[in-house]
Amino acid sequence: MIAFFPEIYPDELLYSQIARYHNRSGYARYVYTVSDIYQNGKLVHPNVDFVNKYTPDAMNWITKNDTWENIVFEHTMYPAYIRFLPKQRRIDAVNGILSCEGNWKNLMCIPLLNELRYIKYCPECVKEDREKYGETYWHRLHQIPRIRICPEHRCFLENSEIPVSSKSSPGLYDAENNIPNELKTRICKNGTEIAFTQYVIDVMQEPIDLNISLPIGTFLHSNLKSEYICKSGLVRNISKLYEDYLEFYNDMPTMELSYMQKIFNNYRYDTYFILQISFLLRISIYEITHLPHETYIQENKILYMSLAKKHNLDYNIVADICDTVLKTTYVSRKTGPKQLLYEELDNQYLPQVKRIVRRILNNKGRPEKVSFAKVQKALNLPQKQIHKLPKCKTYIQRNIESQPEYWAREIEWAVNELIKENKPLNTSRIMKLTNMRLRDIEISVSYIQNQEIQELVRELLSYRDI
C-alpha cells in the first residue's frame, strides 16, 4: 500500500518521480518498493526513458493530478522517438506505450548509440532546482538522444553515473543523491548548436498528429531549394546538400551520406537527423509539426512537371514561380511565358477548387458556408493567395451565399432533423436547433429551395401570428 507519493516536477521523467518515492519511502530494500510500484515487481527492470506496467495503486497515484495520456506525453521520452514514424507504426507505438503492453520498443526508432548511455543533467538546472525545490530531479529534455547542451543555460550536459540500459542491474536512482554537490559548468560557444537544440526541444513539445500520412522524406524533398534539385525535378543533388550539411553542423553529431539518402527515401526516421535536415532547410517548427496532406504535395509535383514540359521551362523555374504565386504575397506582372504560367496554374487549380466547394455545399450534416478561408485551408494555401488565381476566385465568389440563403439551408436541415427524430415541428424548435431568431427565419423563408419545406415553414410562421 502506497501511503504518499511525491508530486511530479515540470519536465521530470516518470522514472525520476518513482526514484524519489523510493528514496523517501524509507524502504531500505529496493524489492519492497518494486512490489508497491510494479506488476511482476521482482522481474522488472525500471525503465528510465519510458514506462513499465504499474500496480493499480501506483497508477492511481501517478494519475492523481493528470491523465495518463498527458503524463506519458510530458514525462517520458516517447515524443522524441515516434514523431516521424510511418502512420501505422506511429499509432501502434503510441497505443503500445499507453497500454504499457506490446512491443512498442521495437516499433520506435531508437538509435543504436555505440557507447553506453548515462542519465544526463545540466549543472545550472541542478543548482536552480536545489534552490527552488530543495532537491533536483532527472529532466526529460536533457535525455533526448544526441543532445549535448542545455539551450537555456548554454552549457554542456554532464553524464551522471546512472546508466540507461536494460543490461545494467535494475535499480531506482534519484537525481539528488546521484549528482555531486560541487558542480562545474562548461559553456557552449557554438551558436548553431544552441539554436538547433532549442529547435529540437520546441518540436518535441508540440502535439503529435497521429493521422498525418505524408512520409517525412517526401515532405523534406518538397522543401528542397532549386540548388539541390536537378532539372527534371526528380533527382536530388544529394552530395551538394550533404556537403552543406556537414559544413553547417561542423563539430556536432552528424549522419552518414547513405543515412541521409534513406531519410529522403522514407526508410529511416531518426528524429535528430530529420530535424537537422529540416533546420538546415529553414523549415519552421509549425511546418514540421503540421505536415500537409499527402495529395497536396504529390499533385503539386505532378502539376509543376507537366507545366515545365508544356512551356519548355526548367522544373526549378516552374516550381519557383508557382511557389511565388502561391506562397508569398508578391505577384510579378511580367508578360511572356511566366504570365502564361499564372493562367495555367489558375486552370489547373480550378477543378480542385470546384471539388472542395461542392464538398462544402453537399456536406451531409449541418450545412456549412463556403468561404475563401475554408477553400484555402483545404488546398493548404497561405492566406489570401487564392485571390491571385482569377478563375478560382470567381468560382468561389459565385458560391458564397448571402446570409438568408445560408439560413434557408440551415432551416431545411433543421426541419429534416426534427422529422427524422419524430419531434413535433414548430418555430421554436427550429430556432433552438439553428440558433436563429424568428426574424431570421422570416427573412430566409423565401430562399428555401425545397418547395414542400418552404410551405411548411410558412405555415409554422403563420400559426404564430394567430
Does residue 150 belong to the site contacting Zn ion (CB under 5 A)?
Answer: yes
Which window, 79-87, 151-159, 358-366, 437-445, contacts Zn ion (CB under 5 A)?
A: 151-159
Residue 421: burial class (beta carbons within 10 Å; 0-12, 13-18, 19+): exposed
Question: Smaller CB distance to Zn ion: residue 58 or 150?
Answer: 150
Q: Considering the rule CB under 5 A, would residue 148 count as an interface residue with Zn ion?
A: no
Q: Kindly indicate which of the ranges 117-125, 174-182, 243-251, 434-442 contains the residues binding Zn ion, using the contact rule CB under 5 A.
A: 117-125
Which of the ranges 45-53, 67-75, 143-151, 437-445 carries the binding residues for Zn ion, by CB under 5 A? Answer: 143-151
Instruction: Tell me if 124 contacts Zn ion by CB under 5 A.
Output: yes
Stretch that binds Zn ion, among 149-157, 160-168, 202-210, 438-446 (CB under 5 A): 149-157
Segment contacting Zn ion by CB under 5 A, of 22-30, 116-124, 157-165, 440-448: 116-124
CA 230-231-235 angle, to 5 degrees, is 35
Q: Binding segment for Zn ion among 20-28, 148-156, 368-376, 422-430 (CB under 5 A)?
A: 148-156
Closest CB 289 distance from Zn ion, rounded Å:
24
Q: Check residue 109 for interaction with Zn ion (CB under 5 A).
A: no
**What's the one-letter identity of residue 225?**
K
Binding mask 177-196 for Zn ion (x = CB under 5 A): --------------------
Residue number, 8 or 125, with CB nearest to Zn ion: 125
CB nearer Zn ion, residue 194 or residue 456: 194
Task: Write the DSSP assignment of 308-336 as a string of letters.
Answer: HHHTT--HHHHHHHHHHHHHSS------S
Least Cβ distance, residue 154 to Zn ion (angstroms):
9
Q: Which range of residues in 51-59, 120-128, 197-205, 442-450 is near Zn ion by CB under 5 A?
A: 120-128
Sign of dihedral through CA atoms 278, 284, 286, 291? negative
The residue within the footprint of Zn ion, chosen from 18, 94, 119, 125 (CB under 5 A), is 125
| 71, 82, 122, 172: which one binds Zn ion (CB under 5 A) | 122
As measured in angstroms, the least distance from the Cβ of 153 to Zn ion is: 4
Which of residues 125 and 414 has its CB atom nearest to Zn ion in the complex? 125
Q: How far apart are CA 275 and CA 461, in angstroms?
A: 62
Grid cell, residue 370, equals 463556403
Q: Identify the three-state secondary structure at position 12.
A: strand
**According to the binding rule CB under 5 A, does residue 126 interact with Zn ion?**
no
Residues 175 and 17: their CA atoms lie apart, in Å, by: 10
Q: Is 325 in the site for Zn ion (CB under 5 A)?
A: no
Which CB sits closer to Zn ion, 121 or 315? Answer: 121
> Can you name the residues that pair with 229 across neighbouring β-strands?
236
Span interacting with Zn ion, options 52-60, 111-119, 153-161, 341-349, rule CB under 5 A: 153-161
What x/- string results for residues 197 through 236 when contact with Zn ion is judged by CB under 5 A?
Answer: ----------------------------------------
**How do the residues of the chain divide into helix, strand and coil, expressed in percent and rounded to 5?**
55, 5, 40
User: Is 127 among the residues that bind Zn ion (CB under 5 A)?
Assistant: no
C-beta of 19 vs 150, nearer to Zn ion: 150
Smallest gap, in angstroms, from Cβ of residue 127 to Zn ion? 9
71 contacts 82 by C-beta, under 8 angstroms:
no
Instruction: In angstroms, give the least distance from the CB of 194 to Zn ion.
Output: 12
What is the distance between the alpha carbons of residues 39 and 1, in angstroms, rounded to a whole number? Answer: 13
Rounded to 5 degrees, what are φ and ψ at 119?
-65, 135
What is the C-alpha separation between 151 and 378, in angstroms, rounded? 37
Pairing of strands 155-156, 158-163: unpaired
Q: How far apart are CA 174 and CA 128, in angstroms?
A: 17
Q: How many residues bind Zn ion (CB under 5 A)?
A: 6
299 binds Zn ion (CB under 5 A): no
d(CA 91, CA 93): 5
Output the nine-digit C-alpha cell for 429.
424548435
Site membership for Zn ion, residue 87 (CB under 5 A) = no
Among 148, 153, 311, 387, interactor with Zn ion by CB under 5 A: 153
Contacts 24+ apart (CB under 8 A), 452-459: 453/411, 453/412, 453/415, 453/416, 456/415, 456/425, 457/411, 457/415, 457/430
Question: In whole angstroms, how close is the CB of 70 to Zn ion at the nearest point?
Answer: 24
Rounded Cα–Cα distance for residues 204 and 187 (Å): 24
Residue 34: strand, helix, or coil: helix
Q: Interface with Zn ion includes 144 (CB under 5 A)?
A: no
- Would you put residue 144 in left (φ > 0), alpha (ψ -120 to 50) or beta? beta
* Contacts to Zn ion from residues 341-380, by CB under 5 A: none
Task: Identify residue 146 by its one-letter amino acid code.
Answer: R
Chain contacts with Zn ion (rule: CB under 5 A): 122, 124-125, 150, 152-153
